[in-house]
């Protein structure tokens, strides 16, 4: 298992994907938060309120006020509700799909090494990667807030944000084995990327419905809320986590089964 793990980390050497995924986080987080001062301008807020819709509700709730608390919360909400599902999905697609794109799957599966170990090693690398992106997101938020001279900094807010980031990242991670499964099934990048896009759209559409707490991709969003719907942060029923865990285990089982039984190489 350790040999597989070391190999999986080595495969990322000089790879541009970690850089690209970091760039997405910086752009999505930084640019999104940079517009908050504009949104907090009374004249703009009045216009938004007049326009109605989800942003008007958020403005009415005071979600866009330029405070450290709001910045950290909205930064995290961006990850849980939009770019997280997509970016983490793309990272998963890369980790699992590249073996087929680069023609290395057949070598990987003819090694005297259990295929499950290879899959597990990839899942470990994925966990480290998405946690790193989560941490980067917090740093980007803090950097943007500092650059814009936002007031109200306390370490308590930062610590809370870090804890929430770990929870959101973990909740999103639980949805990723099925993305990996799609990469194995489709033998490449496109099917898992399309799947990630589709689930993001569908789950966002279900956010304000009663079943949203049971939709695995919406669990992170309910953890920290979403200012733009607005969905308040809620304490999720334990059943939500059971669903998420079951979804993770089912995805993992499907992934292992695929690696073990199906025609696995092109």
Looking at 20, 54, 82, 114, which residue binds another protein (CB under 8 A)?
114
- β-sheet bridge partners, residue 140: none
CA–CA dist 225, 229 (Å, integer): 9
Looking at 44, 160, 234, 264, which residue binds another protein (CB under 8 A)?
264
Nearer to another protein, 42 or 112 (CB): 112
Nearer to another protein, 6 or 202 (CB): 6
Q: CA angle, corner 247, sides to 54 and 263, nearest 5?
A: 120
Q: CA angle, corner 115, sides to 112 and 119, nearest 5?
A: 135
Q: Are 85 and 216 in contact (CB under 8 A)?
A: no
Nearer to another protein, 201 or 262 (CB): 262
Nearer to another protein, 111 or 128 (CB): 111
How many CB atoms sit inside 10 A of residue 239's CB?
Answer: 10
Nearer to another protein, 39 or 113 (CB): 113
Nearest to 118 by CA among 262, 265, 260: 260
What residue spans of the chain are helical by DSSP H? 2-10, 17-34, 36-39, 42-51, 53-60, 68-78, 84-101, 105-108, 115-147, 155-173, 176-186, 190-205, 219-224, 238-261
Residue 213 engages another protein in binding (rule: CB under 8 A): no
**Phi/psi of residue 226, nearest 5 degrees:** -140, 115
Looking at 31, 62, 107, 202, which residue binds another protein (CB under 8 A)?
107
CA–CA dist 191, 90 (Å, integer): 10
DSSP-derived 3-state class of residue 215: coil
Residue 111 engages another protein in binding (rule: CB under 8 A): yes
Residue 259 engages another protein in binding (rule: CB under 8 A): yes
Nearer to another protein, 104 or 154 (CB): 104
Least distance between another protein and beta carbon 114 (Å): 5
Looking at 51, 53, 103, 237, which residue binds another protein (CB under 8 A)?
103
Site size for another protein (CB under 8 A): 30
Nearer to another protein, 23 or 201 (CB): 23
CA–CA dist 209, 132 (Å, integer): 32
Residue 133 engages another protein in binding (rule: CB under 8 A): no
Least distance between another protein and beta carbon 110 (Å): 5
Angle between helices 17-34 and 115-147 (to 10 degrees): 30
Nearer to another protein, 145 or 259 (CB): 259
Least distance between another protein and beta carbon 51 (Å): 47
Looking at 7, 136, 166, 197, which residue binds another protein (CB under 8 A)?
7
128's CB contacts (< 8 A; 6+ apart) are: none
Residue 208 engages another protein in binding (rule: CB under 8 A): no
Residue 19 engages another protein in binding (rule: CB under 8 A): no
Return residues touching another protein (CB under 8 A): 3-4, 6-7, 10-11, 13-16, 102-107, 109-115, 259-265
């Amino acid at each position: 298992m350790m040999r597989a793990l070391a190999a999986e980390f080595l495969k990322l050497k000089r790879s541009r994907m970690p850089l690209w995924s970091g760039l997405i986080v910086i752009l999505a987080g930084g640019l999104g938060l940079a517009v908050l001062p504009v949104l907090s301008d009374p004249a703009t807020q009045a216009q938004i309120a007049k326009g109605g819709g989800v942003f008007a509700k958020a403005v009415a709730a005071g979600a866009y006020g330029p405070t450290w608390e709001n910045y950290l919360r909205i930064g995290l909400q961006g990850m849980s509700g939009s770019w997280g599902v997509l970016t983490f999905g793309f990272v998963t697609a890369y980790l699992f799909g590249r073996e087929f794109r680069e023609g290395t799957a057949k070598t990987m599966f003819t090694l005297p090494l259990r295929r499950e170990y290879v899959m597990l090693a990839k899942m470990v690398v994925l966990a480290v990667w998405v946690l790193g992106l989560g941490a980067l997101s917090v740093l980007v938020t803090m950097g943007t807030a500092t650059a814009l001279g936002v007031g109200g900094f306390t370490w308590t807010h930062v610590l809370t944000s870090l804890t929430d980031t770990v929870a959101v990242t973990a909740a999103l991670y639980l949805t990723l084995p099925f993305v990996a499964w799609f990469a194995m099934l489709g033998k490449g990048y496109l099917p898992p990327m399309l799947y990630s896009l589709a689930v993001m759209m569908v789950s966002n559409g279900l956010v304000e419905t009663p079943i949203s707490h049971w939709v695995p991709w919406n669990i992170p969003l309910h953890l920290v809320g979403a200012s733009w719907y607005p969905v308040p942060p809620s304490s999720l029923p334990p059943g939500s986590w059971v669903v998420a865990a079951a979804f993770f285990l089912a995805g993992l089982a499907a992934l292992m089964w695929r690696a073990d039984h199906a025609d696995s190489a092109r």
